[in-house]
Amino acid sequence: MSWPNDPVLVRTPATSANLGPGFDTLGLALALYDDVEVAVTGDGLSIEVDGEGAEVADRGERHLVVKVLRRTFDVLDELAEAESGQVMGQPKGIRLRCRNRIPHSRGLGSSSAAIVAGIVAARALHPAGRLLDDDVALRLATEIEGHPDNVAPCLAGGLTVAWTTPDGPRLVRLDSQVKQVVAFVPEQRLATERARGLLPETVLHKDAAANAGRAALLIAALTGGLGASVLLDATEDRLHQNYRAPAMPASAALVAWLRAAGVPAVISGAGPTVLAFTTASQVDSMGPEVGNGWHEHPLDVASRGARVVAGEAQVRP
């Protein structure tokens, strides 16, 4: 076995998790992409980053994509040793080039995109990559990220339902009949750890029951094209958004305003981005009432998840 001479280019989509009532379960892949190019070299570690996250390009071995590459190479060596007794060990050198378009710390799955990019790139580079199937990739990504709701749509594309069993995480991929959303991205960031720290240990039984019903309705609405009125009811949440509102008052206010106007809107992931199930033209018709301080991104739902891109230009930060 030997390392390939050519680099691999991996494209990973942004994701929006929770989608209102689907806390830590539902996720949607969005057509906003990071491109990550990885090559095995003779020695050293080289990292170049263009766009989001450029300020952490000097983290070296602590860079998230590098850490994931290393861990995935180790997992692949374990699989290869079990099958054939052969191992590659860590490559002598790695060259990493990233073109990041997914906003960081905004609730659009930037860390999941980096994790999945590292796993998919390592699988493409390692001679025993075929041994790391999609189930193993999901399990590894979930172990690194901590929960499967963002990594699932990043891997599979479309609308996903993710859950955890004693044997590991699982996902089901569904085709969303809603093909476009609008993301309202603020300038300020919010760490996921801070947002999670605001959640209570227990919730009322009636709130949990309400969310279970709304989550089931949301899947039906997204896959059956039931219309905005049903989506408005289906995106109601009682488990996490109100508790996190003090950390992102502007986002909470925008969600409330949009919903009062009949637009199904939720906090994307842990926030502070707001995701609206609507079109760019409808948002434009609202005009200045939406308020300043938001970058509006009309985004298609991405039908495909992370993939190795063949025959395209290399990343050149």
In this structure, are residues 171 and 17 in contact, taking their beta carbons and an 8 Å threshold? no
Q: Could you tell me the two tokens for 51? A: 């766009």
Query: Does the annotation place 110 within a ligand binding site?
Result: yes
Cα-based distances in Å from 37 to 10, 23, 186: 6, 32, 28
State how far the Cα of 119 lies from the Cα of 38, in Å rounded to an integer.
11
Place of tokens 């085709």: 175
Residues 270, 190: contact at Cβ < 8 Å?
Answer: yes
Question: What letter does residue 301 receive in the DSSP assignment?
Answer: B
Q: For residue 203, what are the contacts with CB-CB under 8 A and spacing of at least 6?
A: 238, 239
Q: Is 303 annotated as a binding residue?
A: no
- List b or e across 122-144, with b for residues whose CB sees 16 or more CB atoms inside 10 angstroms: bbbbbebbebbeeebbbbbbbeb
DSSP assigned state of 315? P
CA–CA separation, 294 and 296 (whole Å)? 6
Angstrom CA distances, 75 to 126, 160, 170, stand at 11, 25, 19
Residue 118 assigned to a binding site = no
Check the annotation: does 112 bind a ligand. yes
Residue 106 among known ligand-binding residues: yes
Please check if 176 is assigned to a binding site.
no
**Residue 109 known to bind ligand:** yes
212 is in an annotated binding site: no
Q: How many CA atoms lie within 13 A of 240 on its CB side?
A: 22
Tell whether residue 232 is among the known ligand binding residues.
no
Say whether 111 counts as a known binding-site residue. Answer: yes
Q: Is 103 annotated as a binding residue?
A: yes
Q: Which residues are annotated as a binding site for ATP?
A: 103-113
Q: Which residues are annotated as a binding site?
A: 103-113
